[in-house]
Structure formats: structure tokens, C-alpha cells
């Protein structure tokens, strides 16, 4: 029998790894000058946060969505349009988008509660498609298919920054908030209730858990956080294209990062984002120019990795990474 | 009035193709309880099959249509044994993301091999136009409809009268009972999946002369097919046919009521409405939407 460890670590391995990533990200703008590199770091943070937001509904509540682009897109448009029309501060738009997405999440979550598995996924695809058609065709209000350029008025009061460094901090703050909420959904009392629902919904219902309220809550929180991500992304890019922000590709990317990283734990999407977004960014830099046609190649590999991971590593890569880490520590 | 007649006939002819795609999708779901999120990619591959066999070997596109059935039957079988079979007993999430992964893989394989260019299959058939009371139709439209109806009827006959067809229906109704009756359920799954894929590939080859061929060409068709099958009831073949007709009519009504640009929104609104009000659709078994493996 193994003895009890002499001391109990203050942080679990998951939390330690997350903390390390946050610290690295926080230090990066001071050390790194290269704009492309900094841009990659803020994208890693953004996608980590959005995949985490997706995971609150998809992983923790078992409501697998393929239409989270709907919430993302609402976030982008509601931050962009009020600035264009009335010159509002982006912060108002961000809050507005978050509330709108939460409202849509509430309706969808509440109405689609009976739907399980692929039916829920189909319903969410339809939702994002409806919004795509509305936002790309309603020219008078949304400026239609050409998209919306956001006027650049730098300053914190307007959530617009010169240079890439401040964006790393903005995305980091966003990720910290989302991650803290996800931890609560994973570890807290809420997490235990959700685990019960996920494992056996009928049994959970039978012991008096209000499964509907729990699932709706998870979807609302997930939608709200995703919309904030959309707003931040729109502000950092300065342009909203309906065919991208409401695309199925975007919905799939959020899910894919969470799944490849690991859906069962809060750390999973972080690991997924580090792996996927950094490879993507690296390949985009190396495969540009004459080799641009090969972009399909890394997406082929994604598809393959996704198929292999769900089949052979349903817990994602997180447990594997953590074991490697522990093994590395033991070897040192 | 003439515009209405033209629209009505065009929509009805297109409904035949939607029916073909949807029947395959719903057959796979009915037998395996699995939504194939890569269905549109096989349609896209069918389009490329017709396109390349004409452009490389000057093969008549309707020979490609003939070949598409058997070719995609094999492709479907290979997909089943390599990719789908291991995840059949697994939870929904695993099944969903296996076929989503397959969709990403195939789409980008096409992008990598043949680039994202829009390609058009133009043959002398396109110039063959029939006129009927002011309604103009070209040969590929009529052929797509005719072959679709023929293939769908053949499928129905196969399911109704052949031993394996009955085995498929039995498996769809009750997996356990089918096993007890001596049906090899694994083979039934493989057959259903392969036939579904074959229909998608066939549909692709049929519409290649009508639409642009590009790596994500399957998406718009498969999105409509999702609407159709949910409308009719996932797993119900008759439902898929009725759903296709409803979509064709929505097409016409939508074009007049809300304009062509908005009619897709109308599809998806109806789709959401059905999912929320009666997820089993017109003909689906109630409770199937809550099915858990």
C-alpha cells in the first residue's frame, strides 16, 4: 500500500497547469515583440475561453451544440452595429450582445429541453442558419452580406487598443472569468448535479433534481460567455463578416477544441486551444504564398485527429498531457 | 401566372433530388439511430465523380450516374467498416463528432486535391430544353427527377420485398427482436449505411450538370435534407418523401411571400418549429428524439 503523500499540494495538477499557462500568457507581451506571435497568443486565449464556454453546455451539461456560432455572431453584431449607428462605447454593445445571446439561449434551452443527442445538435445548427440568413440579408439594418467595418477609436473606454500586447491581457481576463465559471460548473455543487444528469438523466430526475433548469442554466451561461468572446473578437479584428461569424465551421471549431482537449474537465479546452490554435497559426505562417493551396492539408489532419480522439481517447488529450507532465516531474 | 407555374415545376423537380438525399439520411438514422453529419460530403464527391469522369475521359455524365450507385455503395461500405462501425455502441457525442470529423476530412480532402474553384459541368444535355405551356425545363433537371424517383421506388421495393430489406426494417423497428430472429445486425447496419451513401453519391452525380461543383457544395443540400427528414420524422421513409414535397411547396410559397433571398430562413424556422412542437415530425415514432443508446 502506498503511504499518504507527505504534504498535500495546494493546487491540483489541472489547476497548476492552468495557472502556469495564465502566467506565461501574462508575461508574454513584456518579452515578445513579434506581432504575429502576440496575435497567436491572444487567439489561443480567446479560443480557449470560447471552447470552455461551449464545454459548459456540451461537456458538463451534455447538450452538444453545433450552432454556437449563433451566440458568437450575436456578440459580434451587437458590439459592431451600435458603434456604427450611434457611436456607443463597445462596452455597451458587449453587454447588449451577452444579454441577447443569454435570452436566445434561454428560449432555445427551454424549448429544446426534450431534445437529446443529435436532435439538439440539429436544432442548434438550424438556429445559427436562421441568424445567418437574417444577418446576411437584412441589408437595411445589418448592412447585409458585405459585413460591417467597426470604426477604430482606440482606448480602454471603447475596448479598442493599438498594438497586440493589450489584446493579450484583454483575452486573458476574459479567459480567467470563463475558466473560473467553468471550474464552478465542474467542481462545485452545480458540477455534481450536472454529473448526475449527464450520467443518467432519468435517475437524476427520479431523485428530485430539476434537470431542465440545470440544462437551461448551462446553456444560458454558455451562450452569454460565447457572445462576449464574439464581441472581443470583433473588436480585435475590426470587421464582422456574417458568413464567418455564423458559420458551421466556427461552431465546429469551438466544439472540436473542447473535444480534442477533453470535455470532462475544465482544463481540457485550454489544452485543446494551445495545441490546435498554435499549430494552425504556425501552419498558416509557413504554408502561405505558393503553398497556400495546401491549407486543406491541415484540416484533413484535424478531421482525422477528431475521429481518432473520440474513438480512442474519449477523455481527450488532457489526461494524457497531465500524465506526461507528472512523469516528467518524477523523472527530474 | 407563368412565373408561378415555372417555379412550381422547378421546385417539384428539385424535390425529387431532395427526396433521394433525405431517404438515404433517414434510412441510416432509422436503422442505426445515427445522424450522418457527413452525408453532404458524399453528395459532393458524387458531383466530382461526374465532373471528372467527363472532363478527364469525356465520359457521358449519365454513365457516371450509372457508375455512382455501385461506386458509392463500396465507398459507403468502406466508411462503415473503417470509421462508423466502432462508434455504433458509443454515446451520441462520440457518434456526432465521428461523422463531423469525417465531414471535415472529406471536405478538405476535396479542397486539397481539387482546390476551392467552382467548377461547372457543361455538356450538350444542358442545351436540351423542353417547353410545356410556357414552362421551360432542361434535360438534366428532368433526368435528375426521373432517376431520383426511380431510385427511390427501387429502394422501397427492395425494403418491401427482399429478405435483406425486411431485415433492415426489422432492425429499425426493434434491434433486440431482430437479433433474436437471426438477423446479423452488424451487417444490417453496414448495408443501411452503404445504401444511404450510395443514394447520396447518386444524387450528387445527378445534380452535377445543374449546380457548381466545389468542396462545400454538399452543405446547402444536406441542410435542406436535415429539414426534410426532421419534418417527415427521422427514420421514416414516407416522411422523407412528404417532407421533400413540403419543402418544394415552401420554396414556391416562400418565394412569393418573403422573397427568394429569405426563403432559406423560412425553411429553418419551420425546422425549428417542428423540432420544438413535434420533434417526431409527421411520421416519426414519438419518443425517438429522446432515444438513448
What ipTM does this complex have? 0.86
Cβ separation B292–A116 shorter than 8 A: yes
CA atoms within 13 A on the CB side of B279: 20
Chain A positions touching B231 (Cβ under 8 A) are: none
Q: Which residues contact B230 (CB under 8 A, 6 or more apart)?
A: A119, A122, B243, B271, B274, B275, B279, B281
| Smallest Cα distance from B133 to chain A, Å | 34
Chain B positions touching A136 (Cβ under 8 A) are: none
Q: Which residue of B has its CA nearest to A315?
A: B94
Cβ separation B262–A137 shorter than 8 A: yes
Each residue's pLDDT tens digit, A193-244 = 888 888 788 888 888 888 888 889 999 999 999 999 999 999 999 999 999 9
- The domain spans of chain B are 2-217
Q: Taken in order A91, A94, A95, A97, is the CA torsion positive or negative? A: positive
Alpha carbon of residue A178 to chain centroid: 9
Mean per-residue pLDDT pooled into runs of 10, chain B (293 residues): 78 87 91 92 96 89 91 96 93 91 94 88 79 80 89 91 91 86 91 96 93 91 88 84 87 77 80 79 60 38
Q: Which residue of A has its CA nearest to B90?
A: A311
**Could you say which residues of chain A have pLDDT below 70?**
1-11, 287-295, 329-332
The answer to whether A310 faces chain B, any CB pair under 8 Å, is yes
- Give me the pLDDT at residue A197, please: 82
Cβ separation A119–B275 shorter than 8 A: yes
Strands A239-240 and A148-149: antiparallel
Residue in A58, A116, A314 nearest the CB of B290: A116
- Give me the pLDDT at residue B289, please: 47
Q: Enumerate the β-bridge partners of residue B119.
A: B213
- Give me the pLDDT at residue B291, please: 42
Residue in B37, B93, B268 nearest the CB of A130: B268
Cβ separation A307–B227 shorter than 8 A: no
Q: Which residues contact B259 (CB under 8 A, 6 or more apart)?
A: none
| Smallest Cα distance from B263 to chain A, Å | 9
Summary count for chain A: helices (H), strands (E)? 15, 2
C-alpha cell of residue A160: 479598442
The answer to whether A107 faces chain B, any CB pair under 8 Å, is no
| Smallest Cα distance from A292 to chain B, Å | 10
Cβ separation B101–A310 shorter than 8 A: yes
- Whether the CB-CB separation of A214 and A193 falls below 8 Å is answered with yes
| Tally of CB atoms within 10 A around B52 | 17
| Smallest Cα distance from A265 to chain B, Å | 16
What count of CB pairs under 8 Å joins A to B? 146
Interface of B with A in 138-197 (CB under 8 A): none
- Give me the pLDDT at residue B285, please: 60
Amino acid at each position: 500500500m502506498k503511504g499518504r503523500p507527505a504534504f498535500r499540494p495546494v493546487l491540483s495538477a489541472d489547476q497548476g497547469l492552468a495557472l502556469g499557462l495564465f502566467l506565461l500568457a501574462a508575461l508574454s507581451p513584456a518579452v515578445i515583440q513579434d506581432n504575429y506571435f502576440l496575435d497567436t497568443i491572444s487567439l489561443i486565449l480567446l479560443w480557449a475561453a470560447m471552447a470552455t464556454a461551449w464545454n459548459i453546455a456540451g461537456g458538463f451539461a451534455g447538450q452538444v451544440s453545433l450552432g454556437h456560432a449563433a451566440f458568437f455572431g450575436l456578440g459580434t453584431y451587437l458590439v459592431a452595429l451600435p458603434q456604427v449607428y450611434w457611436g456607443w462605447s463597445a462596452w455597451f454593445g458587449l453587454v447588449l450582445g451577452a444579454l441577447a445571446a443569454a435570452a436566445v439561449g434561454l428560449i432555445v434551452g427551454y424549448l429544446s429541453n426534450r431534445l437529446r443527442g443529435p436532435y439538439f445538435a440539429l436544432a442548434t445548427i438550424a438556429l445559427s442558419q436562421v441568424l445567418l440568413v437574417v444577418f446576411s440579408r437584412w441589408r437595411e439594418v445589418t448592412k447585409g452580406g458585405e459585413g460591417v467595418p467597426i470604426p477604430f477609436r482606440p482606448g480602454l473606454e471603447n475596448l479598442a487598443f493599438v498594438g497586440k500586447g493589450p489584446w493579450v491581457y484583454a483575452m486573458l481576463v476574459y479567459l480567467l472569468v470563463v475558466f473560473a465559471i467553468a471550474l464552478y460548473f465542474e467542481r462545485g455543487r452545480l458540477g455534481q448535479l450536472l454529473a448526475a444528469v449527464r450520467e443518467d438523466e432519468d435517475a437524476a430526475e427520479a431523485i428530485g433534481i430539476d434537470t431542465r433548469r440545470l440544462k437551461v442554466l448551462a446553456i444560458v451561461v454558455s451562450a452569454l460567455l460565447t457572445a462576449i468572446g464574439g464581441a472581443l473578437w470583433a473588436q480585435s479584428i475590426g470587421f464582422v463578416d456574417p458568413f464567418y461569424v455564423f458559420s458551421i465551421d466556427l461552431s465546429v471549431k469551438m466544439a472540436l477544441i473542447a473535444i480534442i482537449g477533453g470535455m470532462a474537465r475544465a482544463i481540457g479546452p485550454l489544452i485543446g486551444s494551445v495545441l490546435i490554435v498554435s499549430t494552425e497559426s504556425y501552419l498558416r505562417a509557413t504554408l502561405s504564398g505558393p503553398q497556400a493551396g495546401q491549407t486543406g492539408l491541415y484540416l484533413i489532419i484535424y478531421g482525422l485527429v477528431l475521429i481518432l480522439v473520440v474513438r480512442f481517447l474519449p477523455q481527450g488529450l488532457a489526461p494524457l498531457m497531465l500524465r506526461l507532465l507528472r512523469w516528467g516531474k518524477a523523472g527530474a | 401566372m407563368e412565373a408561378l407555374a415555372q417555379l412550381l415545376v422547378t421546385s417539384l423537380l428539385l424535390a425529387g433530388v431532395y427526396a433521394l438525399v433525405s431517404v438515404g439520411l433517414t434510412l441510416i438514422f432509422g436503422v442505426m439511430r445515427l445522424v450522418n453529419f457527413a452525408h453532404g460530403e458524399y453528395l459532393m464527391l458524387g458531383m466530382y465523380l461526374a465532373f471528372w469522369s467527363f472532363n478527364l475521359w469525356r465520359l457521358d455524365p449519365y454513365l457516371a450516374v450509372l457508375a455512382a450507385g455501385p461506386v458509392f455503395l463500396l465507398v459507403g461500405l468502406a466508411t462503415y467498416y473503417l470509421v462508423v462501425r466502432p462508434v455504433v455502441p458509443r454515446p451520441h457525442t462520440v457518434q456526432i463528432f465521428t461523422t463531423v470529423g469525417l465531414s471535415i476530412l472529406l471536405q478538405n480532402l476535396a479542397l486539397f486535391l481539387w482546390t476551392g474553384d467552382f467548377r461547372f459541368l457543361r455538356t450538350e444535355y444542358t442545351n436540351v430544353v423542353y417547353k410545356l405551356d410556357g414552362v421551360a425545363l432542361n434535360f438534366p433537371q428532368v433526368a435528375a427527377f426521373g432517376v431520383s424517383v426511380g431510385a427511390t421506388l427501387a429502394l422501397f421495393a427492395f425494403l418491401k420485398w427482399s429478405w435483406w430489406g425486411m431485415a433492415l426494417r426489422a432492425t429499425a423497428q426493434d434491434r433486440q427482436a431482430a437479433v433474436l430472429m437471426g438477423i446479423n445486425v452488424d451487417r444490417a447496419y453496414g448495408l443501411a449505411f452503404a445504401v444511404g451513401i450510395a443514394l447520396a453519391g447518386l444524387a450528387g452525380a445527378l445534380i452535377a450538370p445543374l449546380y457548381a461543383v466545389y468542396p462545400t457544395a454538399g452543405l446547402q443540400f444536406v441542410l435542406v435534407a436535415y429539414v426534410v427528414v426532421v419534418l417527415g420524422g427521422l427514420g421514416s421513409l414516407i416522411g422523407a418523401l412528404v417532407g421533400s414535397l413540403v419543402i418544394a411547396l415552401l420554396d414556391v410559397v416562400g418565394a412569393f411571400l418573403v422573397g427568394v433571398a429569405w426563403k432559406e430562413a423560412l425553411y429553418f424556422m419551420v425546422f425549428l418549429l417542428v423540432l420544438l412542437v413535434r420533434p417526431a415530425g409527421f411520421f416519426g415514432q414519438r419518443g425517438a428524439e429522446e432515444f438513448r443508446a
